[in-house]
Amino acid sequence: MITIKNVKKKFDNTEILKGISLNVEDGKVVAIIGPSGSGKTTFLRCINYLEDPDEGVISVGDSLITAGKAGKKDILELQRRTSFVFQNYNLFRNKTAIENVMLALTVVKKYPKKKAREIAEEMLDKVSLPRDRFEYYPSSLSGGQQQRIAIARALALNPEVMLLDEPTSALDPELVDGVLDVIRTVANEGITLIVVTHELSFAAEVADEVVFMDNGEIVEQGKANDVLRRPRELRTRNFLRSIRREYPKIS
Judged by the rule CB under 8 A, the positions of this chain that interact with another protein are 48, 50, 76, 79-80, 82-84, 86, 88, 90-96, 103-104, 107-108, 136-137, 139-140, 150, 153-154, 157
Between residues 138 and 231, which has the closer beta carbon with respect to another protein? 138
The least CB distance from residue 192 to another protein, in Å, is 16
Long-range contacts of 208-212 (CB under 8 A, 24+ apart): 208/28, 208/29, 208/30, 209/24, 209/28, 209/29, 209/30, 209/31, 210/30, 210/31, 210/32, 210/33, 211/22, 211/30, 211/31, 211/32, 211/33, 212/32, 212/33, 212/34, 212/236, 212/239
The least CB distance from residue 86 to another protein, in Å, is 7
The least CB distance from residue 67 to another protein, in Å, is 17
The least CB distance from residue 104 to another protein, in Å, is 4
Between residues 6 and 106, which has the closer beta carbon with respect to another protein? 106
Contact 162, 154 (CB under 8 A): yes
Between residues 92 and 235, which has the closer beta carbon with respect to another protein? 92
Between residues 69 and 110, which has the closer beta carbon with respect to another protein? 110
Between residues 1 and 92, which has the closer beta carbon with respect to another protein? 92
The residue ranges of DSSP E strands in 121-230, in sequence order, are 161-165, 192-196, 209-214, 217-223
Between residues 71 and 248, which has the closer beta carbon with respect to another protein? 71
The least CB distance from residue 129 to another protein, in Å, is 15
Contact 12, 70 (CB under 8 A): no
The least CB distance from residue 90 to another protein, in Å, is 4
